[in-house]
């Protein structure tokens, strides 16, 4: 791709940072390197944060943040979007830079991979913007030092994730693709490190991803109880979701505080969103579907 020399040549590219949801998250132990050994089924919503980027020829990485939750983030060098962009730029020896706009649509520190999804989307977006050949495995390797969830967020497809996030396997679970899903957050940020610090240290057993029924009946989120101890509003959300009609599963995602509910039909999802929004207008909600693949 030729470098753009005039404004007329400039092309703005866009990418969605698909929200990540842990249908189940089993903590199997603590590793010698300080990380926890996890087993989790990741699915991704069809929606999430939005990123746009334009090439800059001066080599700079400039980040602009807007959107409903934009004020909660700094656009400085510690932002995961900037760090991911710099990592890719360095890996490629790329002389060009980029002006990136992040429209923050999902809450910060909410257990649905917001920062990790943003970083992964940045890597995908800049690979296209700079027109370079790089595969998902290379992007995942670049992302892992920045965040454990970033490798899975590169493809943003249903995956079984093990270890600290470095062992990924595409997973097919009949009935999950396209399933109506409601995300709900009480407006509380829950620090991941504090939640893991409260984990009881007990290995509750392996995760069975063989069927949706197994995930519903035997899956769990081992961080749910410690997160509720920090943010009791999570229990209120789960109680509200589990009282809804047409529900298949309600559980907390990641280390919280966002919870998700899976529904049998679009009609049930629509009714659920109306009920939750009407009874709890202070809660953030997102109507969406599980992304196919």
Neighbours of 10 (CB within 10 A): 12
Catalytic residue, chosen from 20, 104, 287, 289, is 20
In this structure, what DSSP letter does residue 76 have?
S
Q: Which residues on adjacent β-strands are paired with residue 183?
A: 260, 286
Burial of 36 (0-12, 13-18, 19+ CB in 10 A): middle
Helices (H) and strands (E) in the chain, counts: 9, 10
Q: Which two tokens mark 106?
A: 């999902």
Contact 287, 270 (CB under 8 A): yes
Catalytic residue, chosen from 47, 49, 118, 149, is 149
DSSP states along 189-201: ---HHHHHHT---
Neighbours of 11 (CB within 10 A): 11
Which residues are CB-neighbours of 62 under 8 A, at least 6 positions away?
56, 97, 98, 99, 100
Q: Which two tokens mark 117?
A: 């999804």
Q: Distance (Å, rounded) from C-alpha 274 to C-alpha 287?
A: 10
Contact 92, 134 (CB under 8 A): yes
Q: Which two tokens mark 225?
A: 């109880």
Q: Is 149 an active-site residue?
A: yes
Q: Is 57 an active-site residue?
A: no
> Hey, which residues are catalytic here?
20, 149
């Amino acid at each position: 791709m030729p470098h753009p020399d005039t404004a007329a040549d400039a092309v703005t590219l866009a990418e969605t940072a698909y929200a990540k949801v842990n249908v189940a998250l089993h903590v199997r132990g603590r590793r010698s390197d300080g990380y926890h050994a996890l087993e989790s089924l990741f699915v991704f919503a069809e929606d999430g944060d939005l990123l746009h980027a334009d090439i800059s020829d001066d080599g700079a990485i400039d980040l602009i943040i807007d959107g409903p939750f934009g004020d909660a983030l700094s656009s400085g060098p510690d932002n995961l979007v900037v760090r991911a962009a710099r990592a890719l730029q360095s890996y490629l020896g790329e002389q060009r830079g980029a002006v990136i706009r992040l429209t923050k649509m999902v809450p910060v520190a909410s257990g649905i991979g917001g920062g990790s999804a943003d970083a992964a989307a940045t890597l995908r977006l800049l690979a296209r913007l700079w027109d370079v050949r790089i595969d998902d495995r290379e992007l995942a390797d670049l992302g892992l030092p920045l965040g454990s969830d970033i490798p899975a967020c590169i493809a943003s497809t249903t995956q079984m994730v093990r270890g600290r996030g470095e062992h990924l396997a595409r997973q097919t679970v009949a009935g999950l693709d396209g399933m109506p899903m409601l995300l709900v957050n009480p407006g509380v940020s829950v620090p991941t490190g504090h939640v893991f610090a409260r984990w009881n240290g007990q290995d509750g057993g392996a995760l069975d991803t063989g069927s949706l029924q197994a995930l519903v009946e035997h899956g769990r989120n081992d961080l749910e109880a410690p997160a509720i101890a920090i943010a009791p509003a999570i229990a209120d959300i789960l109680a509200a979701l589990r009282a809804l009609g047409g529900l298949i599963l309600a559980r907390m995602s990641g280390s919280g505080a966002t919870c998700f509910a899976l529904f049998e039909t679009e009609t049930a999802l629509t009714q659920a969103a109306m009920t939750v929004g009407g009874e709890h207008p202070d809660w953030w909600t997102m109507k969406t579907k599980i992304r196919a693949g």
